[in-house]
Structure 1
């Protein structure tokens, strides 16, 4: 059997209704602060988790080095450097693409794929179709956004001007890559999915087309735990200098990672600073409202104490008034924060490519 509410509980309900304007104001400010925390920090955590999982799945490198041309034996010297855990060499060149849906030629950035994907650094994630057959000289995989923008599907053909010769390529799949979560053409600040595409072909096919048998012009490096990255960069530059090395650079300077990390840093800063402002304002409003209530209700407080209520009980009574406003704001903030966080994650998904990108709310944020 449910007992009758106590006199203080009934008084609390009357005070909440009497001061509903102040309660709504406090709740609104609290809800915005909590909403911002869950939206920005929740989005940040979701992006970081998706990115890190993606990097692990595809073995995202720690170091890149571009050069003119070097024999495959040079890669063994790089692998022997202290701090190097694994290397992958590849061929990477640009070529014009003949895309029927555009008036001007599109630019294609070509990368070779090894026969064995098991230990490959910077592996791709297939969206549709299949992996290239190493024995098929004209099979290609294109990045998913380029395919969608131009209406390409597996089985379509694509013409490319490679090494001065027009080549007919067969698209066998579409994919995304951790190196191109935000794919932008060279010298541009924004993506151009219609006129800039990433194309992957087998190592044998690209070596034949570009006369690069037994050679490479890019090397990707995974560092061992605790490795001195600067020492590795210096060692790689020293080895590749006779082969037209253009300077090794770390993950922090990889274009796509840099753009994504900059966005994450801004998101984290916003999610940390703005809620503090709103919650500080809420605390100020609570202090003002309670101070005014206590100052104007001294006679009522005296009556309560005359009826036997202790200072502690009266203090808790007024604290409960503040808690009602805070709890209303928290409930609204959690609901709005989760909804807006999901919308933010969906929005980021239109700019950055991940295999999976879901809003994930950590209990500690609540």
Structure 2
């Protein structure tokens, strides 16, 4: 960390390391207290999400992020696709194959397990909590899943170690995470250190442990907070930014394994944010209906399908003139309760639908979609482009 009257500079390396969270948090606080501009420079470590979250708490904080080497492997490669439509719902992942779900006893994990069980996939559910400690409703959901397919439940902290796989594992859904909301002004450096690297570390630990067991496709659950954080979400945003960067590194190191990062907004009825989803929606958060979310996740596991490597699922809240707004690689929704509009968006994106799709250019990373009446409008945008603007209409 360097400071003078003109501003502050925090320099990090190519990867996130122990001590980086405390260093960056200290730089943010000092810059805010002194009214100085803050520059974060790194070669791939990340941390920009924490700056953006800090600007929510200290609106006067001026900041910028500089990545010194554009050749770093964490950067998203140009997508291999030019035109994409959501495939027809024909069962996920081909023939039934072993699926591991980290965070498998959480609300989202159990919802996904129920859908995969219906398709006959044997399931390995990994979670820190014991199954016996689940609420009665979740125990019933787990029992219903066990009645449909083979299910093995292991209590494990996957940030440290992964138990031996009980059967060959072809697919992994990394849904484990921690939501600890706190203002950066009050967040202890040790707590931020713990939060920051947990999801990324667990992803690498899981992939390296499961490749020998036959792993071929991974869906890592991130969050749109990593790109556009809200107040109190600084630690959570940083954890998901580091997850995204670790997934990109794993794609480079493990070309035989397809790794897709799905950056979700809050799910409307399950998961860590379920209790506050209604309030969050009214406050401007985008929310994913669970039925749609598990359907998309199931498709993402099928490595035979062409998919973008990073998919952002969420978007601005709808208006009467814009019934559904979405930012995603394959479709999504910002609606809290109107599942009919979600189904309409999915239907319009199916092959043979009435929607016409803008070709995505080689520099595009995100496809935005907007439904109005019987037409869906889509356009591509750059990786860092989060501005809302009207799409060019296509008939």
Category of TM-score, reference length = shorter chain: under 0.3
Q: TM-score, normalised by structure 2?
A: 0.23
Normalised to the residue count of structure 1, the TM-score between the two structures is: 0.24
Q: Looking at CA atoms only, which structure, 1 or 2, has the larger radius of gyration? A: 1
Higher relative contact order (CA closer than 8 Å, sequence separation 6+)? 1
Q: Would you tell me which structure has more helix in proportion to its own residues? A: 1
